[in-house]
């Protein structure tokens, strides 16, 4: 039986799944292991698992980082600096003699939700993840273009905080789990103060109002651990957006595919013409 392979290279864990078709959302997770910070060690780990699975018909990879413009290597990855500039797609193609596609995890999440989840009917939509960082990708048009964007690094006026990326005033200094926990000194899950979440949603709403006006996006599927652990967040955020946004409408909805979205989206990459993704 033909096997497609999808791989989600997260900052801490790598997951590998197989699928019989690259056109459906059905995947079977077959392996998970700690992501190796050293690129060569990660490649060795991947190869040894793929050998056990057998010859793949295609390999799709999702990775938490910005891709090079040709989508064949990693351009920016603060969590995996050793991967930057390495010929990842070329190496896998030469070793496995099959199509290999690579995408930013937000683009993969977007493709999963667009093809099989909460964004199926929208031609102007986005996928937003609220987790250690604040990431997004947008989809515009029909058949449409999936675009990787850096929503967390848009600059908010009067924000003096220095972001982990080095810029001053990024949205992510107010909404990224890692930066908030570093500054507060404890985990976000311990925060019950409603004022904190009011402020969180206030800042994020500004970022999303900007998104609506700059891109004409109308529907946003929200994912990520911060959204999943705080059910009150989406209605509160929607209210703050509605208060600010005039002459446009931005509707938030929960992402439907959960933690498997990057894997399902990595598989979907194999069915998406390269010209329909702007890395
Ligand atoms: Zn930043």
- The pLDDT tens digits of the residues spanning 3-61 come to 999 999 998 899 999 999 988 899 999 999 999 999 999 999 999 999 999 999 999 99
Q: What is the pLDDT of residue 192?
A: 86
| Closest among 260, 27, 251 to 125, alpha carbons compared | 251
**Nearest-angstrom CA–CA distance, 240 and 205:** 6
Q: Is the dihedral of CA 94, 275, 118, 240 positive or negative?
A: positive
Residues with CB under 5 A from ligand 1 (ion): 153, 163, 165, 167, 170
DSSP 82: G
Q: What is the pLDDT of residue 1?
A: 57
Q: How far is the CA of 164 from the centre of ligand 1 (A)?
A: 6
Domain edges within the chain? 3-103, 118-255
Compute CA 255 distance to the chain's CA centroid, rounded to the nearest angstrom. 12
CATH 3.40.50.920 fits 118-255, yes or no: no
- The pLDDT tens digits of the residues spanning 195-242 come to 999 999 999 999 999 999 999 999 999 999 999 999 999 999 999 999
Q: What is the pLDDT of residue 189?
A: 87
**pTM value?**
0.96
Q: Do the domains spanning 3-103 and 118-255 agree at the CATH topology level?
A: yes
Q: How far is the CA of 220 from the centre of ligand 1 (A)?
A: 21
Q: Are strands 100-104 and 56-63 parallel, antiparallel or unpaired?
A: parallel
Q: What is the mean pLDDT of the chain?
A: 96
**Nearest-angstrom CA–CA distance, 129 and 135:** 5
Q: How far is the CA of 174 from the centre of ligand 1 (A)?
A: 10
Residue 263 has pLDDT above 80, yes or no: yes
DSSP 149: E
- The pLDDT tens digits of the residues spanning 49-92 come to 999 999 999 999 999 999 999 999 999 998 899 999 999 999 99
Q: Which CATH number fits domain 3-103: 3.30.420.40, 3.40.190.10, 3.40.50.20, 3.30.43.10?
A: 3.30.420.40
Residue 93 has pLDDT above 90, yes or no: yes
């Amino acid at each position: 039986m033909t096997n497609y392979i999808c791989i989600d290279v997260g900052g801490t864990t790598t997951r590998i799944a197989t699928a019989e078709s690259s056109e459906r959302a059905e995947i079977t997770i077959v392996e998970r292991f700690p992501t190796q910070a050293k690129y060569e060690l990660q490649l060795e780990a991947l190869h040894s698992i793929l050998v056990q699975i057998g010859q793949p018909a295609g390999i799709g990879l999702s990775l938490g980082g910005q891709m090079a413009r040709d989508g064949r290597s990693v351009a920016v990855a603060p969590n995996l600096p050793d991967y930057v500039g390495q010929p990842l797609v070329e190496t896998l193609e030469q070793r496995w003699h099959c199509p290999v596609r690579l995408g930013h995890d937000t683009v993969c999440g977007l493709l999963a939700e667009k093809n099989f989840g909460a964004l199926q009917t929208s031609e102007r939509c986005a996928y937003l993840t609220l987790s250690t960082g604040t990431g997004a990708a947008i989809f515009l048009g029909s058949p449409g273009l999936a675009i990787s964007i850096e929503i967390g690094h848009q600059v908010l006026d009067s924000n003096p905080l220095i972001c982990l990326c080095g810029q001053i005033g990024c949205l992510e200094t107010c909404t990224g789990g890692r930066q908030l926990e570093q500054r507060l000194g404890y985990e976000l899950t311990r925060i019950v103060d409603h004022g904190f979440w009011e402020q969180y949603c206030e800042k994020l709403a500004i970022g999303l109002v900007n998104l609506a006006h700059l891109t004409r996006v109308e529907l946003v599927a929200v994912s990520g651990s911060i959204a999943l652990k705080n059910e009150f967040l989406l209605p509160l955020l929607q209210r703050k957006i509605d208060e600010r946004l005039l002459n446009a409408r931005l509707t938030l909805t929960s992402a439907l595919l959960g933690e498997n979205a990057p894997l399902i989206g990595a598989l979907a990459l194999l069915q998406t013409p390269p010209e329909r993704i702007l890395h």
